[in-house]
Copies of this chain bind each other. A is one copy, B any other.
Amino acid sequence: MEPSRAGPCGRVLRGRATPPGPTPPPASRKVLGYTSDVLDLIANLVVPNQTKIVLLSLDGLGGLPDLRTGRSELETARLPHLNGLAARAACGLIRHVAPGITPGSGPGHLGLFGYDPLAYRVGRGVLEALGIEFDLHPGDVAARGNFCTIDDRGLITDRRAGRISTETCMRLTDRLRAVRLPGVEVFVEPVREHRFVLVLRGTGLKAHLSETDPQAVGTAPLPVRALDADSESTAGLVNRFVDDARRRLADAAPANMVLLRGFDQLSELPRFPEVFRLRAAAIAAYPMYRGLARLVGMEVLKTGGTFTDEVATLRQHWEAADFFFVHYKDTDKAGEDGDFPAKVAALERLDAFLPEIEALGPDVLAVTGDHASPAVLAGHGWQPVPVMLWSRYCGADPVTAFTERACVGGSLGVIAAQHLMPLVMANALRLTKFGA
């Protein structure tokens, strides 16, 4: 008789669970062959179980020491619950792409979902479009747009136009919808604050395009360049759009110009619920992360705009899914604004929610982030990001604080982001062994 074990919630965990029924379809493709493909391996090892998993992504989690105190945001904040969990969890650091490479939010999250971000590439434009539930068609070219401020000489003075209100954004995108381009449909959709999505629909469009956002102030927006011959005509169309937008926004300061980046077309990714055989639900107040979750096939749950809403949504849907991706945005926002105290406060606010999440009784709780956003960089950083993984089987390690410095000594070591999901699945007793 095999021993069965009662899990934290009284559910029976089966370590030797039923093996796969039909072999799953090929679940991945290698685009660049840089690294081993975790999805190939994992898809053949997944077994069913009843365990519940929460993956909590604190956007832009990782930080850097404040130059005066020598302590990072995580080391400065009072985080009794995160640190308490770290003492019970297996800790480590996640490197999302490669040493020294700063991940965008797309690759950062794709990695956390188990997709090698060098092999599976998705542009920001597609993510933004999916995040607002825009019905993107194959062949559409999507770009992320920012309203920005330019001065009389055409030089950028604020890349986010003072974070105009979403209402203003909606009014101005209405103006841009009037832009007409030959042979293509133009869609301009507001996202939130200064952000919008541009979609061009037509035949023969290609998205191998440079960005217009110079990622700096005091310089002019760049013209779009085609990065291959096939994209030449699309580059011309986009530049016409930008010229027309400039004219239509001339009197709309501070939102008197647009910046476009992340040109992309829809690509198909292996479906997360099929690869991992999980009823997977995403809870995110911010559209882009909902879009990313939808792109990999997660069910996106309707939630409100605050983390209180997100935790309430988690509680309401607890029985309806096996895996919950829960996204917390405030950490990244503060980091990107270069506001060290705000990031500390965002961490402390999050910390207060942890007991509520733990009270639901997840069998596996993973806490990490999609990239660093150190306040001293006022932007994304390349630094590896703390991760902790708790389950009844996570093992012991010496780490007792959820900080960049302490997690160096954790038992997970420094791992590639795409190895987190296999660890999560193993701790959920949802993988059988490899080889005899």
On whether the beta carbons of A395 and B64 are closer than 8 Å, the reply is: yes
Q: Is A413 an interface residue (CB 8 A)?
A: yes
Tell me how far the C-beta of A92 lies from the nearest C-beta in chain B, rounded to whole angstroms.
9
A238 within 8 Å of B (CB atoms): no
Whether the pair A215, B432 counts as a contact (CB closer than 8 A) is yes
Q: In the complex, are the beta carbons of B422 and A99 less than 8 A apart? A: yes
* A26 CB → nearest B CB, Å: 13
**A98, A105, A108, A409 — most chain B CB neighbours (10 Å):** A98
Contact A102 B405 (CB under 8 A): no
Query: Which residues from B are CB-within-8-Å of A16?
Result: 215-216, 379
Interface residues of A in 120-150 (CB under 8 A from B): 121-125, 127, 144
Please, which residues of chain B bring their CB within 8 A of the CB of A422?
98-101, 382
Q: Which residues of chain A from 369 to 416 have a CB within 8 Å of any chain B CB? A: 374, 376-384, 392-393, 395-398, 404-405, 408-415
Q: Are B409 and A103 in contact (CB under 8 A)?
A: no
The answer to the question of A7 belonging to the interface, with a C-beta cut-off of 8 Å to chain B, is no
Kindly list chain B residues whose C-beta atoms are within 8 Å of the C-beta of A421: 100
Copies of the polypeptide in the assembly: 2
Residues from chain B with Cβ under 8 Å of A219 in the complex: 18
A326 proximal to B (CB < 8 A) = no
Contact present for B434 and A102 (CB under 8 Å): yes
A side interface size, CB within 8 A: 104
Within the complex, the shortest CB–CB distance from A80 to chain B, in Å, comes to 20
Q: Are A144 and B436 in contact (CB under 8 A)?
A: yes
Give A222's nearest chain B residue, CB to CB.
B19
Task: Let me know if B41 and A434 touch, CB within 8 A.
Answer: no
A424: min CB distance to chain B, Å:
7
Complex interface: stretch among A31-39, A179-187, A241-249? A31-39
Is there a chain B Cβ closer than 8 Å to A362's Cβ?
no
Q: Assuming the A-B contacts A158-B1, A374-B393, are A45 and B435 also in contact, with contact meaning beta carbons closer than 8 angstroms in the complex?
A: no
In the bound assembly, the distance between CA atoms of A54 and B397 in angstroms comes to 29
Residue interface mask A1-45, B partner, CB < 8 A = 1: 111000000000011111100010000000001111110011001
**Chain B residues, CB < 8 A from A15:** 377-379
Q: Which residues on the B side are within 8 Å of A215 (C-beta)?
A: 16-19, 47, 432
Complex contacts, A33 vs chain B, CB 8 Å: 33
Which of A65-73, A168-176, A302-310, A353-361 lies at the interface with chain B?
A: A65-73
A117 at interface by CB-CB < 8 Å: yes
Pairwise interchain contact B431-A382, C-beta atoms closer than 8 A: yes
List the B side residues contacting A378 at CB < 8 Å: 2-3, 15
Are B101 and A434 in contact, CB atoms less than 8 angstroms apart? yes
Q: Is A164 an interface residue (CB 8 A)?
A: no
B216 touches A17 (CB 8 A): yes
Q: A-B pairs with the 3 shortest C-beta distances? A: A124-B436, A100-B422, A104-B435
A-B contact pairs, 9 of them (CB 8 A): A3-B378, A16-B379, A100-B421, A105-B435, A108-B435, A124-B436, A262-B436, A397-B408, A398-B408
